[in-house]
Structure 1
Amino acid sequence: MNPSVSAPPTPAGLEAIHSSCRKLYADQPNPLQVTALLKYWLQGPDPLDYISMYANPGDVSQGIPAHWHYISFGLSDLHGDGRVHDISGPDGPSGFGFELTFRLKREESDTSPPTWPAELMQGLARYVFQTFNILCPGDHASWHVPLDNGESRLQHMLMTDDPQMPPVVSQCGRTQFVQIVGICLEELRAAQQWNGPGILDLLKKHTVSGGPWLVTDMRRGESIFELDPSFQQAVDDGLQQDGSDLTGVSGFCSWEDVDGVIGMENPTVDPQFTLLTQVTPSGLPAIPEASLRRGSRFSQDIHDSTSNGTDLSTPDTNYEATTELIRTRTLDYVHLKFTIEAGALLPLVFKGRLRHGRHFTFKSPADDLAITFVCDGIAGSFADQSHPYAAHGPWLQVFISEDFMSVITEDMSDLNNPEELKLPREYSWKGQKLRITIIPEE
């Protein structure tokens, strides 16, 4: 090697993350890494260039156990040359604007970090690259298999801000660090019914459920509601007072009118995958969906915008551009279909959203079809008391009156225990000219 030839400089986006890691882990300049063998820009399957793994001592005095700290490289723009992400400059987000992190409790027998979290992070990254939906603090992800593919009760995730990794800014843009937190089914449902940040705050109250830094312990056998029964009352009180801030999901659904099927009559669902994800705060979804990974069903929520979920007048621009010339038409009778993963959220739609004057949208991952439930007071809705069912292209709005809300909430209460439901399950209200069918995932 010619000593007069210097090595090329580290790309700005990559150096910004490296610099942040070096400040936090000055004693670990060369951490273990899981590296994509074939880079994504060379048609490789894994979007993350690599995941660095650090040994974090924690702080026993604060209830923070020793743990492994995983940090991804690739969701943000590492190179700044357009090979993966559009070039945005320092004033915008770097790539998708975030990287993933994960904190896994270190077992006494551990001599090196387990690599399964890297596979988990690659799966989430594939979802982001395929759908262009970012993950934000407070979002939840339903995985439906143990995160480590073992026998753990932790089969789902919440997202939070990494407590030790502040956002970094480079000439490639701004990057924040979103930490994955392992949760169980009861905690996932509470996050869906109420909100993610509230559940994160409860998880921090016990060391075993995460502590101040939300360290995931895959051996945790109790939910926060078993650790402290008073937490259930806190969730119930929060839901009663605040309602749910889950604006909508993307999940398999369809609708039809008297003229025939508009959406999927029999939705084809990957037997190993179902997707539920965020919609725009305005309530109009615009999500190009794609499968994520084996053995998983995915969901992600988003919090209400400043409209507090009461405004449908500003739909996503991409959707608006494709539908602005489509005539809105009213329907006399509608039949809605949901798979059980999406349909299980219907009680939440009525109790946590409509009763608080907020809309809720289901968006089909297979096409542009969407179903939005609305009530009185939703600005911009085109369904109302006189015309409860109205369609704008593939987007259907269903108006639920205050009187009917109590009836439909009671009639569909068995969806509060979806695992006990015999499918398909049909609900019908002749006076309302409405039929809803819940079908299996497969």
Structure 2
Amino acid sequence: MHDVYRGQEPKHWGTVIKHMLGGPDPIDGISAYQCFDGDREHLHFCTYGYTSLYYDEEAVGSDYSRFGFEMTFRLATPLPPSEEPIWVCNLLQNIARYVFESGKWFEPYHWIPAGGPIRADYDTDIVGLAFLSDPTIKTVYSPHGRVDFIQAFGITQSELDSFADTKHTAEELIESHRKTNPLLITDLSRKDA
């Protein structure tokens, strides 16, 4: 992220007690950078915790660093934002809980329903997530192995239903959105079709 946003100090949220020390949150930290690319002001979030954050002699030379990815998310918002987007941190921590508890991870073109709006107590039609390779952050190779950056993109109920009916795939949906939204920025005001 630092290579993409040189010189910008991100907003950062960290856990009080790190996961490796018994803390309840699996992600040790989440940073958000202000981004003006993609013809839309947005915050670009990145997690720290799916990969090996601390030196682990036993993991040196592995193919992948722990789960092999960090999660990103882009939220459409005027910059600077008028409120702290803590709800995004909660969303990203909830996704991480699923991964850490199930041992299942996300790859490009996977998708999940959120069981309701992705932002609790907020009027939005965005009720699920599709995943893609982050379009601006390249794979990195650490001493513990490869790290990919998987971006979550907010989707509507009719889009989720189209996967269940096998009318469309997540790849088709993402590539369709990419034509007008190349960075796949999630806009909570986007309405269901």
Query: Normalization by structure 1: what TM-score?
Result: 0.41
- 1:191 maps to a residue whose letter is F
Say yes or no: does 1:79 pair with 2:79. Answer: no
2:5 to 25, 33, 41: 25
C-alpha distance in structure 2 between counterparts of 1:47 and 1:103, whole Å: 20
Aligned CA distance change for structure 1 residues 59 and 195 (closer, same or farther; 3 Å):
closer
C-alpha distance in structure 2 between counterparts of 1:59 and 1:27, whole Å: 20
Aligned CA distance change for structure 1 residues 90 and 112 (closer, same or farther; 3 Å):
farther
Say yes or no: does 1:138 pair with 2:138. Answer: no
**Within-5 A mapping of 1:2-81:** 21-28=1-8, 30-60=9-39, 65-81=40-56
Say yes or no: does 1:107 pair with 2:78. Answer: yes
- 1:77 maps to a residue whose letter is S
C-alpha distance in structure 2 between counterparts of 1:219 and 1:71, whole Å: 22
Give a deviation string over 1:295-346, Cα, whole Å, max 9, x none. xxxxxxxxxxxxxxxxxxxxxxxxxxxxxxxxxxxxxxxxxxxxxxxxxxxx
- 1:119 maps to a residue whose letter is N
- Structure with higher strand content: 2
**Within-5 A mapping of 1:355-434:** none
Structure 1, unmatched stretches of 5+, are: 1-20, 224-442
Q: How far apart are 1:91 and its partner, in Å?
A: 4.3
Query: Normalization by structure 2: what TM-score?
Result: 0.92
Larger radius of gyration: 1
Give a deviation string over 1:271-316, Cα, whole Å, max 9, x none. xxxxxxxxxxxxxxxxxxxxxxxxxxxxxxxxxxxxxxxxxxxxxx
Give the secondary structure class of the aligned counterpart of 1:101.
strand
Q: How far apart are 1:205 and its partner, in Å?
A: 2.7
CA RMSD of superposed structures (Å): 1.7
Give the secondary structure class of the aligned counterpart of 1:72.
strand
C-alpha distance in structure 2 between counterparts of 1:144 and 1:126, whole Å: 15
C-alpha distance in structure 2 between counterparts of 1:94 and 1:112, whole Å: 34
C-alpha distance in structure 2 between counterparts of 1:215 and 1:112, whole Å: 18
State the identity %: 29
Give a deviation string over 1:172-212, Cα, whole Å, max 9, x none. 11110000000001111223423211111112233xxxx01
Contact 1:140 1:196 in 2 (8 A): yes
Higher relative contact order (CA 8 A, sep 6+): 2
Structure 2, unmatched stretches of 5+, are: none
Say yes or no: does 1:184 pair with 2:156. Answer: yes
Runs of 4+ in 1 over 3 A off after TM superposition: none
Q: How far apart are 1:108 and its partner, in Å?
A: 6.1
Q: How far apart are 1:112 and its partner, in Å?
A: 5.6
Contact 1:53 1:113 in 2 (8 A): no
Say yes or no: does 1:201 pair with 2:167. Answer: no
Aligned CA distance change for structure 1 residues 105 and 94 (closer, same or farther; 3 Å):
same
**Within-5 A mapping of 1:269-418:** none
- 2:185 maps to a residue whose letter is V
Aligned CA distance change for structure 1 residues 113 and 55 (closer, same or farther; 3 Å):
farther
Contact 1:68 1:113 in 2 (8 A): no
Count matched residues: 190
Match of 1:124 in 2: 95
Give the secondary structure class of the aligned counterpart of 2:45.
strand
**Within-5 A mapping of 1:222-233:** 222-223=192-193
Contact 2:15 2:25 in 1 (8 A): yes
C-alpha distance in structure 1 between counterparts of 2:33 and 2:69, whole Å: 19
- 2:183 maps to a residue whose letter is W
- Structure with higher helix content: 1
C-alpha distance in structure 2 between counterparts of 1:109 and 1:96, whole Å: 32
Aligned CA distance change for structure 1 residues 99 and 175 (closer, same or farther; 3 Å):
same
Q: How far apart are 1:88 and its partner, in Å?
A: 3.0
Aligned CA distance change for structure 1 residues 109 and 47 (closer, same or farther; 3 Å):
closer
Say yes or no: does 1:213 pair with 2:183. Answer: yes
Aligned CA distance change for structure 1 residues 52 and 108 (closer, same or farther; 3 Å):
closer
